[in-house]
Amino acid sequence: MFDNFVVPDFLPAAPEIFLATMAMAILMIDLLVKDSRRTVTFALSVLSLIGCAAIQLWTSTGEINYTFSNMFVDDLMSDLLKLFLYMTVIFVLFYSRGYIIDRPEMNKGEYYVLTLFATLGMMVMISANHFVSIYVGLELLSLSLYAMVAMNRDSVTSTEAAMKYFVLGALASGLLLYGMSMIYGATGSLEITAIAERLYGGGVNNTVLVFGLVFLVAGLAFKLGVVPFHMWIPDVYHGAPTSVTLLISSAPKLAAFAIVMRLLVNGLITMAADWQNMLIILSVLSMAIGNLAAIAQTNLKRMLAYSAISHMGFMLLGIVTGVVSGDARYALNAYSSAMFYVIAYVMMSLGTFGMILLMARAGFEADNIDDFKGLNKRSPWFAAIMMMLMFSMAGVPFFIGFFAKFSVLQAVVAAGYTWLALVAVLFSLIGAFYYLRLVKVMYFDKPEDETPILAGTDMRLLISVNGLAVAALGLFPQIIMSLCAYSLLRSL
C-alpha cells in the first residue's frame, strides 16, 4: 500500500512547520503563565517570528523548489514576501501590546496564538501551488481573524463586525471554491503549474473555464477588498478592536497579492485577456468608490478602510498591464511595480494604525479624525510622523507612497493604457483631500485635550522607525524595487 509513498522534502516548508509547532507550544505554555501582562507569551510569539525569518534565510536557495506532491512551492518571491510578513506581524504585536494590556477582555494568550495561526495561514497562501493548499491557508487565516474580531465579546460593534465578516467571508470562500471546481472540471487538475500546461496544450472547454475564472476572480476580489466585494471592509475595520484592525489592514495584503500572482499569472496566464478586463473594471470602481466614500467619513478607521479599497484598486493596475495582446515583455516591470506597491502600502498602513493605537488609552479609542486635533501641540514628533504617513498615502513626493504610485503608473503607460493612468491620477488627486484634511486637523485645530502623549520606549522607537522608513525608502526606493524585480525574475 505504501510502496509508492515518497517522503516529501520538509526543508522548503521548515518555517511553516516551526511556526505551527511554536504556536501550539505557546498555547500550552500560556496555560501555566500567571502573569496578567502575558509577557512570556508575547516574548515567545516575537521570538517565534524571528526564528521563522532566520530559518527562511537559511533554507532559501534562490531556486524554485516544489514539495508535498507539488502542492507547496518555495521560490524567491515567497521568501521575500514571507520576510516582510514576519517583520509586519512583529510590528503588529509590539504596537498592540499596550492597547491590549489596557483592555483585560483582549489581554489573553489566545490573542497571540491566533495571530501566529493567522500568520501561518498567510505563509501557506504565499507558497501554495495547488488549489487545496491555497484554500487551507485562506481558511486558517480567515477563521483566526473571525475569532480575533469578536474577541471583545462585550462590544456589540465587535460582535456585529465579526458576524458580517464571517457570513460574507463564507460566501466569498464558496465563490472561490466553485470557481476552482469549474477550472478543475475543465482542466482535470488542481495543481497550478499543471493547469498552466493543460491550457498551453489546448483542447480545454473554454466556456466552463471562463465561468470558473469569473467565480475565481470574484473570490479573490473579496479577499483583496475591492469593489463590488468591499462591503465588509468599512464595517470590520470600524467594529474590530483597533489592534485587530491593524493586523487585518496590513499583513493579509501580502498573502492576497501572492495568491493573485499564483492563480492568475502562474496558472491562468493564457486567459490574461479575459481576467485583465475584469480586473480593469474592479480597479477603476475601487479607486472611484474608495476615494469618494472616504471623503465623507468622520471616523478615521472607516476613512482608512475606504482608502485601503482605493489602494488595492491601484495595485491591481500593475497586475493588469503585465501582458498586452499576448506580449509578455512588460510582465516583470508591471508585476514588480504591483509587488512594490503592496509592500509600500503595508508599511504605511502599519504606521497609521500604530499611531491610532498610540493615541488610544484605556477606555478610549482614538478612532475619530477629531481625536487628532492639535496633535502638533501635544507631541510635535508624533504629529510629524503622522504627517509623513499621510503624505506618503496621498502620494506626495518624496515618500515611498509617491514612488509606489509612480512605478505602477509608468508600467500602465508603458503597456499603452494611457487612459487608465489618467483615471488613476484623477482619483489619487481626489484621495489627497482626505489625507491632507487629517494633517490640517493636527496642525491648525485647537486640541480638545492638552495632555502630553505618553508611550513606552519600544512603541516610540518602532513608530519612529516606521515613519522614518516611509521617508527614507522614498529617497532610496530602488532598494525594495530591485528586490521585488529580482525575486519575480527568479520565480515566474
Domain boundaries, the chain: 11-489
Q: Measured between alpha carbons, how far is 158 from 149 in angstroms, rounded to an integer?
A: 6
Q: Are 160 and 149 a contacting pair, CB within 8 Å?
A: no
425-450 b/e with 16+ CB inside 10 Å = b?
eebbebbbebbeebbebbbebeeeee
Q: Measured between alpha carbons, how far is 48 from 15 in angstroms, rounded to an integer?
A: 10
Is the pTM of the predicted complex or chain greater than 0.75? yes
Q: What DSSP letter does each residue of 295-326 carry, written as one string?
A: HT--BHHHHHHHHHHHHHHHHHHHHHTS-BTT
Q: Which residues of the chain have pLDDT under 50?
A: 1
Q: Sign of the C-alpha dihedral, residues 376, 449, 156, 295?
A: negative
- Nearest Cα neighbor of 356 from 347, 348, 366, 346 is 366
pLDDT at 458 (0 to 100): 85
Would you tell me how many other CB atoms lie within 10 Å of the CB of residue 362? 10
Would you tell me how many other CB atoms lie within 10 Å of the CB of residue 363? 7
Q: Which three cell numbers stand for residue 25?
A: 507550544
* CA angle, 265 then 266 then 269, to 5°: 50
Residue 191 to residues 28, 292, 412, 470: CA-CA distances in angstroms? 36, 40, 30, 38
Q: Which three cell numbers stand for residue 344?
A: 509600500
pLDDT at 128 (0 to 100): 93
Dihedral angle over CA of 9, 196, 128, 250, nearest 10: 150
pLDDT at 287 (0 to 100): 94
pLDDT at 362 (0 to 100): 62
Q: Which three cell numbers stand for residue 491?
A: 520565480
> Amino acid letter at 325?
S
Looking at the DSSP bridge assignments, the partners of residue 361 are: 364
Residue 185 to residues 62, 69, 178, 478: CA-CA distances in angstroms? 34, 20, 10, 43
pLDDT at 326 (0 to 100): 66
The conformation of residue 108, written as its DSSP 8-state character, comes to S
Rounded to 10 deg, the angle between the 300-320 and 232-239 helix axes is: 140
> Amino acid letter at 268?
L
Q: Measured between alpha carbons, how far is 381 from 208 in angstroms, rounded to an integer?
A: 57
Q: Measured between alpha carbons, how far is 274 from 295 in angstroms, rounded to an integer?
A: 33
